[in-house]
Structure 1
Amino acid sequence: MDEALLRSLTPSVIGVLVRRGADFAAAEDAVQDALLEALRVWPEQPPREPKSWLVTVAWRKFLDTVRADTSRRRREARVGEEPGPGPGEAADDTLQLYFLCAHPSLTPASAVALTLRAVGGLTTRQIAQAYLVPEPTMAQRISRAKRTVAEVRFDQPGDVRTVLRVLYLVFNEGYSGDVDLAAEAIRLTRELAARIDHEEVAGLLALMLLHHARRPARWGADGSLVPLAEQDRSRWDTRMIAEGVDILQAALARDRLGEFQAQAAIAALHADAARADETDWPQIVEWYDELVRLTGSPVARLNRAVAVGEADGARAGLAALAGLDPGLPRHTAVSAYLRERDGDAVTAARLYAEAARAAPNLAERDHLLRQAARLNAALRA
């Protein structure tokens, strides 16, 4: 059973049903039912034309639902009887599904869930496991999202930047449950890049590849977080890095810089260093300057302070940090790191412990607590 094939066909099959007259929510439900049927039937009876099979079965399930609901009899008359089996319509509606699922009227969480279900072809159970929430909670979230976009015309223009932010959110969730969301985000971004010629789509794909290439070295044998400077770089995926750099260079050559290209350029500079002490920090600072200019993001400014500290010394990094809101996520951890670099171990240990209490996940909390314990042990020695 090729589950990847099933998931890749999902958007175009939804698009076929919508163009035949189904509303988006009904089409998406029918396609999910057809996918479950495929998982049951295909191992023993694989179809010669998988997309046509899914279209036929999904349309039948849609009509069954319409016929069972007397309040929809008028709609049944409009959509007509089931077309005969045959090749699925050639129109590719995947791009419109990206736009619809990332509609600005949706919350980020709802947009992510709807994208994973309608474009990614994941089941509600898989999405719930990935986000560590009960399945009924995720089902409600998806249902609300579908109701929100119910009146949005399927063919109206969408906002590429909104789609990219949703895919970036998916990527940053990483891995939970039985779905690797980072890999899924890369797959979806590849599909988007194949359908739209946009330098920031390429920039996001490059960024994902460059970050994902470091994944094997990001965790120790005991499951502990390994900071970038301490990672075994021989474990990085050099082929993925090369692909990411090639995609980035082609995007930058178009001379329409965007935030994801700038972030990818920073990631590429890290990937280019064979050892941590060979990192080109002055150039990374320049790219952070571009990123701040493009976005004004406080998070970008925070990361820039770290880069300044590496390029020009801890005092310069602390000066760059001074103007930022102490309530920013990871501000205290950055302050602790720069204080340690500046030789103030007492303050650094206290700040590491304080940062651990506000850490967004257990791995980061444990890492920060280990840093505090290391400094406290050295101070007692």
Structure 2
Amino acid sequence: MIDFGALYRTESRRVLATLIRLLGDFDLAEEALHDAFLAAAEQWPRDGLPHHPRAWLVGAGRLSALARLRRRARFDRLQGELARQMEESMQSELDTDAPAIDDDRLRLVFTCCHPSLGADAQIAVTLREVCGLATEEIASAFLVKPATIAQRIVRTKRKIREEAIPYEIPGAAELPERLDVVLHVIYLVFNEGYAASSGARLTRGDLCAEAIDLARLLAELLPEPDVLGLLALLLLHDARREARASSTGDVVLLADQDRTRWNRAQIEEGLGLLRRAWARPPVGTYTLQAAIAAEHARAPDSASTDWGQIVRLYDLLLIAERTPVVELNRAAAISQHRGPEAGLALMDALLERGELRDYRFLHSARADLLRTLGRRDAARAAYRRALELTTQEPERRFLERRSREVEESC
């Protein structure tokens, strides 16, 4: 039996990227994608799985789009012209000289990250169209309301269409200046996979794999130090993903993880990429983060972790990228290196500034430190606040368990 759910998860974004290239329209491509999967669900159980399912879906989607344009041509002459042009190019754009389908996702990333679009718009539309994240998931990454993200995506897609932004990977002269946003988008996709913002699962392996795949394509295209650093970072984190949850799906903290479950092949590849990136200064932000991840990967157990070196790396990262989240992560490292009081003081200062007031990880990190220090009332309040902000079930269970343990210790 064909598992269409699994097929949709693995192929839909690739098929959509190619349809957008062929059709030149986001909305028409999304309609064509759904039509193609409906046709597959009807025909494949009867006729069998085709030799090249992705190519079949692309072809079916394109034929569906052509039929839609023909129907609309009865009322709109422009739609008729689009249908004529599509018919003329039906063969030439799918021949062996056409861009490889596997590269279409990367082309779509660069289209969505065109410099004529605002930075927030670039990231939002890429997360939606390339990676298929729900509006609520993207809103969580931006720490804004879903309605704001929905409006931003609609406006951005309209601008791409109206300004005929090209669907292509930029040339060598333009590529470096457009790289930062693309790297950031890939990083955000991985983060949503590694620590899902909502839902029943702690992680989403499909998004982690998507981000790593895009980072690999980008590293082949442009093996710059921070591109290699990003790929190293993703591999080093993803190596730990399977150990982050128990057999029942509950959170397992880094200190308690079974390190024999870490993927050693990914760690070795990540460390090799890190060495290449580090050898070519200046050292970028993703390379610094990869160096921090490498300290965890090298430690045979939690007690052996070199927290002093991790704090020093965070000091460098703060110089390069002073953001509240980096400050929070540094504070957590300081709590391990210098003690919970030192880390808590930094987190309290962050909370007082207000920038991370609604960031669940700040409240849960504070709660853990307060619990360690025996400040039970404050710990309970911090756990409650973290629970109010959490929409992910494994995190909720973890925080509820910690909160109960504080109650029971009174």
TM (normalized to structure 2)? 0.73
Distance, in Å, in 1 between the alignment partners of 2:235 and 2:12 is 23
Moved more, 158-167 or 345-354: 345-354
Q: Report deviation, 1:195.
A: 2.7
Q: Report deviation, 1:278.
A: 0.7
Q: Report deviation, 1:296.
A: 0.8
Q: Report deviation, 1:32.
A: 6.2
Aligned match of 2:77 in 71, 76, 87? Answer: 71
Distance, in Å, in 2 between the alignment partners of 1:190 and 1:230 is 31
Name 1:170's counterpart in structure 2: 189
2:368 corresponds to 1:337: yes
The 3 A distance-change label for structure 1 pair 313 and 89 is same
Name 2:88's counterpart in structure 1: 81
Whether the aligned pair in 1 keeps the contact of 2:124 and 2:153 (CA below 8 Å) is no
**Could you say what the CA RMSD is over the residues aligned between the two structures, in angstroms?**
3.8
Q: Deviations over 1:290-309 (max 9, x none)?
A: 22111111111011111111
- How many aligned residue pairs are there? 362
Which letter maps to 2:165? R
2:50 corresponds to 1:46: yes
Distance, in Å, in 1 between the alignment partners of 2:269 and 2:284 is 19
Distance, in Å, in 1 between the alignment partners of 2:51 and 2:150 is 30
Distance, in Å, in 1 between the alignment partners of 2:53 and 2:122 is 37
Distance, in Å, in 2 between the alignment partners of 1:262 and 1:335 is 25
Distance, in Å, in 2 between the alignment partners of 1:361 and 1:31 is 29
Distance, in Å, in 2 between the alignment partners of 1:354 and 1:259 is 31
Distance, in Å, in 2 between the alignment partners of 1:139 and 1:63 is 28
SS at match of 2:130: helix
> What does residue range 277-356 of structure 1 map to in structure 2 within 5 Å?
277-326=303-352, 327=354, 328=356, 329=359, 330-356=361-387
The 3 A distance-change label for structure 1 pair 271 and 34 is same
Q: Report deviation, 1:349.
A: 4.1
Name 1:112's counterpart in structure 2: 127
> What does residue range 53-64 of structure 1 map to in structure 2 within 5 Å?
60-64=63-67
Q: Percent identity?
A: 36
Q: Report deviation, 1:10.
A: 5.8
Moved more, 255-264 or 63-72: 63-72
Gaps of 5+ in 2: 140-146
Whether the aligned pair in 2 keeps the contact of 1:217 and 1:232 (CA below 8 Å) is yes
Which letter maps to 1:312? R
Name 1:213's counterpart in structure 2: 239
Which letter maps to 2:109? Y
SS at match of 2:408: helix
Whether the aligned pair in 2 keeps the contact of 1:186 and 1:209 (CA below 8 Å) is yes
Gaps of 5+ in 1: 118-126
2:249 corresponds to 1:223: yes
SS at match of 2:363: helix
Distance, in Å, in 1 between the alignment partners of 2:134 and 2:61 is 23
The 3 A distance-change label for structure 1 pair 372 and 318 is same
TM (normalized to structure 1)? 0.78
Distance, in Å, in 1 between the alignment partners of 2:183 and 2:383 is 33
The 3 A distance-change label for structure 1 pair 368 and 60 is closer
Q: Report deviation, 1:216.
A: 1.8
Whether the aligned pair in 1 keeps the contact of 2:13 and 2:129 (CA below 8 Å) is no
Q: Report deviation, 1:108.
A: 4.1
Which letter maps to 2:67? D
The 3 A distance-change label for structure 1 pair 289 and 9 is same
Q: Deviations over 1:332-366 (max 9, x none)?
A: 33223333444544543443344333335332233
Distance, in Å, in 2 between the alignment partners of 1:299 and 1:146 is 30
Q: Report deviation, 1:78.
A: 5.5
Moved more, 72-81 or 301-310: 72-81
Q: Deviations over 1:145-186 (max 9, x none)?
A: 532321242156572222222222222222669983222222
The 3 A distance-change label for structure 1 pair 248 and 222 is same
Which letter maps to 1:149? I
